[in-house]
């Protein structure tokens, strides 16, 4: 996927839940407890807007509050409201105004400020206490994390959970039970029976201990539960219809999870790959945390029709995907890591494949969104070959990485990979052991596109996603049929191969020849990147004038484009079925029309 560069967000609003902070009373008063949380509500690059919220979580009134924190050098408060903010070096102190210092039990108050720099608060204190939401009693530590719950007695509408107890220096009072990241019950023992569930639905449960001072400890690991009954899953053997959803599409492209509903595409696909997680220091990481799990959606923007609140545990794309799966229970979602831009970290990951796999599972199974993802997709461009950077991990590295992922994730998760479609002799398919790795993976997304484009600015013009070879093709083996044949020859089962479709075109300018093979002077203009344009634009701005090798091309003015249409997709899907392939996938949803005509063509072509 040559053109997949991550867009830069216009701004990022990052909710940083700092640990709870202690509200001190005088020795004669009963102990009270309080928390303070920080949110960066706006960010304009050189500066930002921050907000602190102080909440009285105790049973007695709080008569005053003082919040203190440290900023790193270069970050400072420039103005504030609803508190008196002062500083000593990099240490900042905010005291209540005369009118907002008293907080009844359960009440909260917020104050805000404008800041310069890019740092975040650290070492926060409230009324001199530690940042743990505890009491005034010295040395009272928060409880430990309970054990990961185990599920039993699962029915259509209920499940029983049990877990090992947490520990605390002064005693555990009770446990909060979290379902899909939200508290649904508080119990005194180490078991809970959840009722009123929906049949045939996935849930994620975790627990969190509270001590006698009402301090909460870390959240336990999560257990995934699927209730019995409900919607029947697509029959085994049905073709896979998978689309990539880009994390950064919520910015300039203004494409959101709800667009999958409004376009009708959600009812026509079986799987979504969420792109992309990053690979840093040999580990999987969330890339854009704001888009992934913090961006707030209004009621009209959300899949469920319910607006996000500022304090809900999960927002952003992940929460919208959760709502999508509730509406379309047949859809499975995989978290895709790597891509063209982020593949440079796979070499280090391959040096300790087991540690890499463990880090990936920790991201996928994060208690806040463990129910959202059904598997992991690895998009390494390219093992033991060159992409944006060159990898020298050796031919066995990809197989070893795949084996480690399967060992870590087990059989309950999908483990897949997007791979090269270079079918040339001695090309990228020959550089890694894709045949040996196939035994550990559910399927391969074979990237049968981006073969030719204006990265060769002088041409010759050629379709970027040819299904077959043709006389005059610029490079032998650069077509879908040759790539699929080579993978089959290496022992990859046909049903583990998905044919790739691009929902975009590649084009040149300075072209006078309508037929393929003409010379050019550079890349044709594109909305987001020169030489690339969405199908939804090209179908009107430069309609197809011919077809070659199973895909369409268009010559309009001095520009020459190639792209797939509903008609060429129908032909490719027929070919895929005849080859016994497992289905098809596409890059990516936002290139389609508002009514999802390309996704519909894949669906009807594989049905």
Residue 453 has pLDDT above 60, yes or no: yes
Q: What is the mean pLDDT of residues 538-557?
A: 97
234-245 tens-digit pLDDT: 434 489 999 999
CA dihedral 10, 15, 16, 18 (to 10 degrees): 160
Counting Cβ atoms within 10 Å, is residue 309 exposed (0-12), middle (13-18) or buried (19+)? exposed
Give the SS3 label for residue 210. strand
Provide the 3-class DSSP secondary structure of residue 173. Answer: strand
What is the rounded CA–CA span in Å between residue 446 and residue 420?
A: 6
- Give a yes or no: residue 292 inside a domain: yes
Predicted confidence (pLDDT) per residue in 257-272, tens digit: 999 999 999 999 999 9
**Contact criterion met (CB below 8 Å) for 195 and 153:** no
Return the pLDDT at 177.
93
pLDDT tens for each residue of 2-51:
333 333 333 333 333 333 333 333 222 333 578 887 877 777 666 788 88
Give residue 13's pLDDT: 31
Min mean pLDDT across 3-12, 85-94, 539-548 is at: 3-12
Average pLDDT over residues 81-97: 91
Same domain (yes/no): 117, 155: no
The answer to whether residues 212 and 347 belong to one domain is no
DSSP letter at 62 equals B
Over residues 74-96, the mean pLDDT reads: 90
Instruction: In whole angstroms, give the CA distance from residue 299 to residue 256.
Output: 13
Q: Do residue 178 and residue 255 come from a single domain?
A: no
Range of the domain at 215: 150-226
Per-residue model confidence as pLDDT tens digits over 278-299: 999 999 999 999 999 999 999 9
Query: 576 near 582, Cβ under 8 Å?
Result: no
CATH of the domain at 589: 3.20.20.80
- Estimate the crossing angle of helix 597-606 against helix 566-578, to 10 degrees: 30
Contact (CB, 8 A) for 208 and 175 = yes
Give 30 or 548, the one with higher predicted confidence: 548
| Shared-domain flag, residues 326 and 415 | yes
Handedness of CA 240, 244, 245, 247 (dihedral sign): positive
What whole-number distance in Å separates Cα of residue 202 and Cα of residue 375? 14
CA separation for the pair 86, 98 (Å, rounded)? 16
Residues 168, 113, single domain; the answer is no
- Quick one: what percent of the chain has pLDDT higher than 90? 68
- Least confident range from 26-30, 273-277, 346-350: namely 26-30
Domain containing residue 107: CATH number: 2.60.40.290
CA–CA gap between residue 528 and residue 331 (Å, rounded) = 29
Which range has the worst mean pLDDT, 65-79, 123-137, 335-349? 123-137
Statement: residue 67 has pLDDT above 70: yes
- Is residue 214 in a domain? yes
Give the pair of three-digit tokens for residue 42. Answer: 């706006």
Mean pLDDT of 170-195: 89
The whole-number pLDDT of residue 603 equals 95
The closest alpha carbon to 459, from 512, 504, 517, 515, belongs to 517
Kindly tell me if the per-residue pLDDT of 335 is higher than 50.
yes
534 occurs within a structural domain: no
The Cα–Cα gap between 433 and 477 comes to: 18
pLDDT at 138 over 60: no
> Residue 95 in contact with residue 84, Cβ under 8 Å?
yes
Q: Residue 516 has what pLDDT?
A: 97
What is the pLDDT at residue 32? 55
Query: Which of 164, 194, 226 is where one domain is finished?
Result: 226
pLDDT tens figures, 569-598 = 999 999 999 999 999 999 999 999 999 999
Alpha-carbon distances of 80 from 68, 86, 92, 296, 411, rounded to whole Å: 14, 10, 12, 24, 53
pLDDT at 123: 82
Q: Is residue 420 part of a domain?
A: yes
* pLDDT at residue number 284: 97
Q: Per-residue pLDDT for 468 more than 70?
A: yes
Residues 214, 331 within the same domain: no
Alpha-carbon distances, residue 348 vs 276, 298, 381, 390, 465 (angstroms): 18, 41, 14, 12, 31
Q: Do residue 371 and residue 407 come from a single domain? A: yes
pLDDT at 336: 98
363 sits in the region (left: phi over 0; alpha: psi -120 to 50; else beta) called: alpha
462 confidence band (pLDDT: 50, 70, 90): very high
Per-residue b or e along 250-278, where b marks 16 or more CB atoms closer than 10 Å to that residue's CB: bbebebbbbbbbebebbbbbbbbbbbbbb
Confidence at residue 35, expressed as pLDDT on a 0 to 100 scale: 83
The total of other beta-carbon atoms located within 10 Å of residue 561's CB is 29
Which pLDDT belongs to residue 135? Answer: 38
Between 211-215, 318-322, 406-410, the lowest mean confidence (pLDDT) is in 211-215
Question: What is the per-residue DSSP string for 73-111?
Answer: TT-EEEEEESSEEEEETTEEEEE--TTS--B-TT-EEEE
For residue 57 the two structure tokens come to: 């979580």
String of DSSP letters for 449-518: --SS-TTSTT-----SS-SS--TT-SSTT-SHHHHHHHHHHTT--GGGEEEEEESEEEEEES---SSTT-
Average pLDDT score over the chain: 88
Query: Of 199, 226, 253, which marks where a domain is finished?
Result: 226
End of a domain among 126, 141, 174? 126
Average pLDDT value for residue range 397-412: 96
Domain count for the chain, please give it.
3
Mean of pLDDT values over 94-104:
90
In a domain? residue 159: yes
What is the reported pLDDT for 234? 41
| Domain co-membership, 477 together with 384 | yes
- The answer to whether residue 445 scores a pLDDT higher than 80 is yes
Cα separation, 96 vs 83, in Å, equals 5
Q: Is residue 536 part of a domain?
A: no
Do residues 311 and 388 share a domain?
yes
Confidence band (pLDDT; 50, 70, 90) for 133?
low
| Catalytic site includes residue 49 | no
Distance CA 159, CA 361 (A): 24
Do 388 and 274 reside in the same domain of the chain?
yes
Stretch among 153-167, 258-272, 414-428, 506-520 having the lowest mean pLDDT: 153-167
Does residue 519 form part of some domain? no
Q: Which of 203, 327, 225 is nearest to 269 (CA)?
A: 327
Q: Identify the pLDDT of residue 212.
A: 80
Tell me, yes or no, whether 114 and 248 share the same domain: no
Q: Catalytic one among 381, 408, 588, 597?
A: 381
Question: pLDDT value at position 105?
Answer: 85
Kindly state whether residue 537 falls inside one of the protein's structural domains: no
Asked whether residue 166 falls in the same domain as residue 278, the answer is no
- Report pLDDT for 557: 96
pLDDT band for 132, please (50, 70, 90 cuts). low
- Contacts by 326-331, CB closer than 8 A, 24 or more apart: 326/201, 327/261, 327/266, 327/303, 328/266, 328/267, 329/200, 329/201, 329/202, 329/230, 329/231, 330/231, 330/233, 330/234, 330/270, 331/266, 331/269, 331/270, 331/271, 331/272
Widest CA span in the chain: 92
């Amino acid at each position: 996927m040559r053109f997949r560069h991550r867009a830069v967000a216009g701004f990022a609003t990052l909710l940083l839940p700092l640990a709870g902070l202690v509200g001190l009373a005088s020795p004669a008063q009963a102990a009270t407890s309080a928390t303070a949380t920080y949110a960066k509500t706006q960010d304009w690059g050189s500066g930002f807007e921050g907000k602190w919220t102080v909440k009285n979580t105790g049973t007695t009134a709080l008569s005053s509050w003082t919040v203190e924190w440290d900023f790193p050098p270069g970050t400072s408060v420039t103005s504030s409201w609803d508190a008196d903010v002062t500083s000593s070096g990099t240490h900042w102190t905010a005291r209540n105004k005369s009118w907002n210092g008293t907080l009844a039990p359960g009440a909260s108050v917020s104050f805000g400020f404008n800041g310069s720099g890019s740092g975040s608060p650290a070492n926060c204190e409230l009324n001199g206490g530690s940042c743990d939401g505890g009491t005034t009693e010295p040395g009272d530590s928060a409880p430990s994390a309970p054990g990961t719950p185990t599920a039993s007695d699962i029915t259509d509408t209920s499940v029983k959970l049990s877990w090992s107890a947490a520990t605390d220096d002064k005693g555990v009072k009770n446990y909060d039970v979290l379902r899909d990241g939200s508290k649904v019950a508080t119990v005194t023992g180490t078991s809970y029976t959840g009722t009123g569930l929906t049949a045939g639905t996935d849930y994620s449960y975790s627990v969190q201990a509270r001590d006698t001072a009402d301090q909460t400890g870390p959240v336990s690991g999560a257990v995934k539960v699927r209730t019995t009954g409900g919607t029947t899953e697509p029959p085994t053997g049905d073709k896979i219809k998978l689309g990539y959803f880009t994390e950064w599409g919520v910015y300039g492209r203004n494409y959101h999870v709800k667009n999958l509903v409004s376009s009708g595409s959600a009812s026509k696909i079986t799987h979504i790959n969420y792109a992309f997680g990053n690979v840093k220091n040999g580990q999987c990481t969330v890339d854009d945390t704001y888009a992934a799990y913090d961006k707030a959606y209004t009621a009209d923007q959300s899949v469920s029709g319910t607006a996000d609140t500022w304090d809900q545990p999960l927002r952003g794309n992940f929460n919208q995907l959760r709502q999508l799966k509730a509406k379309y229970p047949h859809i499975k979602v995989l978290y895709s890591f790597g891509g063209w831009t982020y593949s440079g970290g796979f070499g280090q990951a391959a040096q300790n494949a087991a540690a890499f796999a463990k880090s990936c599972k920790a991201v996928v199974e994060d208690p806040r969104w463990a129910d959202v993802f059904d598997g992991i997709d690895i998009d390494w461009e390219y093992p033991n070959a060159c992409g944006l950077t060159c990898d020298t991990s050796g031919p066995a590295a990809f197989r070893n990485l795949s084996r480690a992922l399967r060992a870590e994730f087990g059989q309950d998760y999908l483990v897949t990979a997007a791979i090269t479609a270079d079918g040339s002799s001695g090309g990228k398919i020959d550089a890694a052991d894709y045949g040996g790795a196939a035994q550990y993976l559910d399927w391969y997304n074979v990237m049968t596109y981006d073969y030719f484009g204006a990265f060769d600015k002088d041409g010759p013009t050629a379709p970027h996603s040819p299904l077959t070879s043709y006389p005059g093709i610029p490079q032998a083996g650069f077509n879908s049929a040759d790539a699929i044949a080579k993978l089959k020859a290496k022992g990859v089962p046909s049903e583990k191969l998905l044919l790739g479709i691009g929902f975009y075109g590649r084009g040149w300018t300075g072209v006078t020849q309508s037929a393929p093979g003409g010379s050019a002077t550079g890349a044709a203009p594109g909305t987001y990147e020169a030489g690339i344009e969405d199908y939804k634009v090209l179908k009107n701005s430069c309609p197809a004038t011919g077809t070659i090798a199973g895909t369409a091309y268009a010559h309009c003015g001095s520009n020459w484009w190639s792209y797939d249409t509903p008609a060429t997709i129908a032909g490719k899907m027929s070919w895929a079925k005849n080859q016994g392939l497992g289905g098809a996938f596409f890059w990516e949803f936002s290139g389609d029309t508002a009514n999802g005509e390309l996704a519909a063509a894949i669906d009807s072509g594989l049905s």
